[in-house]
Amino acid sequence: MFVIPEGFKERYSQIVDDPEAFLASLERLTPKSFRVNSLKASAEEVKARFESYDMTVRQMPWYGDAFVSENPDVGSTLEHCLGWIYIQELVSMLPPLLVREELGSASWVLDGCAAPGSKTTEMAAIMQNRGTIVANDLDYSRIRALKFNLEKVGALNTMITNRNLLDFPENQFDVVILDAPCTSEGTMRKSGAMFTNWSPTEIPKYSRIQKAMIVKSFDLLRPGGSMVYSTCTFAPEENEEVVDWLLKNRQDAKLETITVEGMKLSEGITGWEGKEYDSRVKLARHVWPHHNDTGGFFMAKVTR
Amino acid sequence: MREEKLDVTGVRDNVLDYLTGRFGLPRSLFDEYSFYLTSKERIYLGPKSVPNNVRIVTIGLMVARATGPIKPTTNLLQVFGRHVKKNIVSLGKEQAISFLKGEDVRLSQPGDASEGYVLVKYLDYPLGCALLKANALKNMLPKAKRLSVKYI
């Protein structure tokens, strides 16, 4: 049975605008979504093909390649089989979008925690296979899925590395994407089972790793480069506090304003459980599940 | 992975000669990429610039084997399928479904393609690579890509 723990309700009722709507949204499954892989097909082609299958798909106003479909059979289409579409949660499509312009002219890109490849494949599409994307992941068991997905979409501008990001050799990337390992509270909509394991005790452990990772990722940026830090969790310790840590430790880090036209985003919070954060963390954004019917997400755009 | 670029060894020319000769792919499609040879004698097509201070697990797409006659991969033909000008075999719906399951396909009538590796298509979809011989397609889809497709 789907039960949201009391501790969870208490924690987040303090920071969401509408706790009731927030909690209600968690009891529904996240809509099935996919992204058109523009390395192989266009949104128009895919839309027309899905119409011919009598499958209803809805194009997202904030990203022409993003679609939602209530049909459970999206994965059994020829388009999916051939890598014309990539099944991906809507919010997971956001980090590459925030640096879409930079990616257009980037020659050197790092995806710090790349497996299974959702963001790497999206960036390869935005870059139209130009430049170089280093898709790194620490976990060797996940590299296989990453390789499979990169091949499936036809990515030619990628190379895979299997390093602890914290030991990644010195480099000067134009763009870095750090979709950090996290407690994944924002994905709990998908499966109620995850809530049975929910406990805030895991949060500090992740927060420590994320702080080390965000600083390291920033150090891998060239001056003038752009970076996106993101998580799929609600915990401010893994979000605002991590961005605050970067601002405290790197004077040349600048937070950028984030807008995604057609999607409702919420400002970062500047304090949590007695801690005060740098007021600039307001520029970071939460995506709350009840605002756009998506999973939960957090993102900050940083330039050097 | 041997981080050795093949551009200078003549292998790049061998692969490109094959792809332009057999499939009519324009050489310019490959201008932005380098060919790499792995320790398992496989040829990969990947980005031109790679960092020299980190070990690479894999790069770009495997496009062919370096030993024996060149055999193109399905991944390669899916990416560049829309630029392929010759040695194409187009299938009907039922045959396409069989092909995607990994089955060999007997053709009812000979087409324009000559014996050897061909691009298999359904409508405008490049499905993959097959070996055409005696009016039949020998399926070359890797096992992981063999799928039962419901909507086609």
How many CA atoms within 13 Å lie on the side-chain side of A121?
Answer: 30
Same fold, A31-88 and A91-303: no
Which of A81, A113, A182, A232 is an active site residue?
Answer: A232
C-alpha torsion sign, points A272, A276, A277, A283: positive
Domain boundaries, chain A: 31-88, 91-303
Closest CA to B97 of B151, B140, B135: B151
B5-17 pLDDT tens trace: 444 356 788 899 9
pLDDT for res B10:
64
Choose among B33, B54, B150: nearest Cβ to A161: B54
C-alpha torsion sign, points B138, B90, A38, B15: positive
B48-75 pLDDT tens trace: 988 888 999 999 999 988 788 889 999 9
Check B56 against A151: CB less than 8 A apart: no
Q: What is the full per-residue pLDDT of chain A (304 aa) written as tens digits?
A: 578 889 999 999 999 999 999 999 998 889 999 999 999 999 999 999 999 999 999 999 999 999 999 888 999 999 999 999 999 999 999 999 999 999 999 999 999 999 999 999 999 999 999 999 999 999 999 999 999 999 999 999 999 999 999 999 999 999 999 999 999 999 888 666 667 778 899 999 999 999 999 999 999 999 999 999 999 999 999 999 999 999 999 999 999 999 999 999 999 999 999 999 999 999 999 999 999 999 999 999 999 9
pLDDT for res A193:
64
Asked if the interface predicted TM-score (ipTM) of this complex is over 0.95, the answer is: no
Find out whether A182 and A232 touch, Cβ atoms under 8 Å.
Answer: yes
Chain B residues lying within 8 Å of A55, measured CB to CB: 151
Query: Stretch B116-128: mean pLDDT, rounded?
Result: 95
Determine what percent of chain B falls in helix, strand and coil, rounding each to the nearest 5.
25, 30, 45
Chain A residues lying within 8 Å of B59, measured CB to CB: 158-160
A122: amino acid identity, one letter:
E
Instruction: Give the separation between CA A62 and CA B85, rounded to whole angstroms.
Output: 37
Check pLDDT > 50 for residue B21: yes
Beta strands in B1-152 (DSSP E): 4-5, 33-37, 42-47, 58-59, 61-65, 88-90, 105-106, 116-122, 125-133, 136-139
Is some CB atom of chain A closer than 8 A to the CB atom of B79?
yes
Check pLDDT > 50 for residue B127: yes
Check pLDDT > 50 for residue B111: yes
Instruction: Give the separation between CA B72 and CA A70, rounded to whole angstroms.
Output: 38
Instruction: Give the separation between CA A167 and CA B55, rounded to whole angstroms.
Output: 12
Q: Is A182 assigned a catalytic role?
A: no
Choose among B54, B78, B125: nearest Cβ to A163: B54
Q: Which residues pair with B116 in a beta bridge?
A: B132
Is some CB atom of chain A closer than 8 A to the CB atom of B18?
no
Buried b (16+ CB within 10 A) or exposed e, A227-242: bbbbbbbbbbbbbbbb
Q: Which fold has domain A91-303?
A: Rossmann fold (3.40.50)
Say which CATH architecture domain A31-88 belongs to.
2-Layer Sandwich (3.30)
A301: amino acid identity, one letter:
K
- Identify the CATH assignment for B87-142 out of 3.10.310.30, 3.90.1150.10, 2.30.130.60, 3.40.50.2300: 2.30.130.60
Domain boundaries, chain B: 4-78, 87-142
Give residue B4's pLDDT band: very low, low, confident or very high (50, 70, 90). Answer: very low
Chain A residues lying within 8 Å of B148, measured CB to CB: 76
